[in-house]
């Protein structure tokens, strides 16, 4: 009993001492709190550096969202994903974006895709506008003008076998870096004559899909299809139609005018 009373008395005296001298407790706790924060920050730094090393050449997942798309997903990393068949969900969400566009009024033809004008060619009574898309462009295509779908042609894994297909000619140099190109095109009846919108992809991408059917009436700016990854779009018109854009010019699908229609 006496022992118990002694313990209680000692505890009471210690409690009173803490109240009388609170600086003793705070001076002990402050260095410990600072050490804990330092350890936490060091741990975060180690995790970020390790993630950056494991994801090289891509950026760390902790900082990538701060970078523009070209730096967030470097080209070597993109092609590795394509070859492995395991692309990043974040990049797929970005690539599959499909923003609304402000379709201009009037009869002018609009660009079917986002991209850069690679070439303007004329051959065998036909004009060709070649537009190159990068992997960071929107890949949803739109109809250049009001039209009716006459044919959907699948070229498979080679160029058109017919000898009179001008795309077999060496002048069409934009095909030279596309091993075994896969092609599909829409043949359209328009107020500006027969028009073809041709989609071309390389062997790495290969997938082309159309959203329209033969016989369907299309509105200007209507979504007509999609290509996957870096691709080329060729707009083919009658010789009388003049494309009013320059080589190297940037185009926006559904908004940039590429020529005056009738």
Which residues are annotated as catalytic? Answer: 231
3-state secondary structure of 195: strand
Give the separation between CA 237 and CA 25, rounded to whole angstroms.
85
Residues sharing a CB contact under 8 Å with residue 77, sequence separation 6 or more, in sequence order: 57, 58
- Rounded CA gap, 15 and 4, in Å? 17
Measured distance CA(22)–CA(29) in Å, rounded: 11
Q: Is the dihedral angle over the CA atoms 259, 147, 99, 132 positive or is it negative?
A: negative
Whole-angstrom distance, CA of residue 176 vs CA of residue 36:
60
């Amino acid at each position: 009993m006496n022992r118990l009373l002694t313990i209680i008395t000692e505890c009471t005296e210690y409690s009173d001492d803490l109240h009388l001298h609170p600086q003793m407790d705070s001076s002990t706790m402050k260095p410990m709190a600072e050490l804990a924060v330092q350890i936490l920050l060091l741990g975060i730094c180690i995790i970020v550096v390790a993630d950056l090393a494991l994801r090289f050449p891509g950026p760390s997942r902790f900082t990538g969202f701060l970078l523009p798309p070209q730096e967030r997903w470097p080209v070597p990393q993109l092609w590795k994903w394509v070859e492995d068949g395991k692309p990043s969900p974040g990049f797929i969400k970005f690539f599959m974006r499909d923003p609304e566009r402000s379709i201009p009024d009037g009869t002018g033809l609009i660009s079917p895709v986002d991209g850069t004008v690679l070439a303007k060619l004329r051959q065998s009574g036909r004009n060709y506008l070649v537009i190159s898309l990068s992997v960071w462009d929107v890949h949803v295509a739109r109809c250049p003008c009001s039209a009716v779908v006459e044919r959907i042609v699948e070229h498979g894994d080679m160029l058109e076998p017919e000898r009179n297909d001008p795309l077999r000619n060496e002048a069409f140099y934009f095909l030279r870096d596309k091993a075994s190109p896969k092609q599909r095109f829409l043949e359209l009846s328009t107020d500006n004559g027969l028009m073809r919108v041709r989609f071309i992809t390389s062997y790495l991408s290969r997938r082309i899909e159309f959203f329209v059917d033969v016989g369907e009436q299309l509105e200007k700016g209507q979504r007509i299809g999609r290509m996957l990854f870096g691709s080329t779009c060729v707009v083919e018109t009658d010789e009388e139609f003049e494309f009013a854009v320059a080589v190297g010019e940037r185009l926006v699908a559904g908004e940039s005018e590429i020529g005056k229609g009738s």
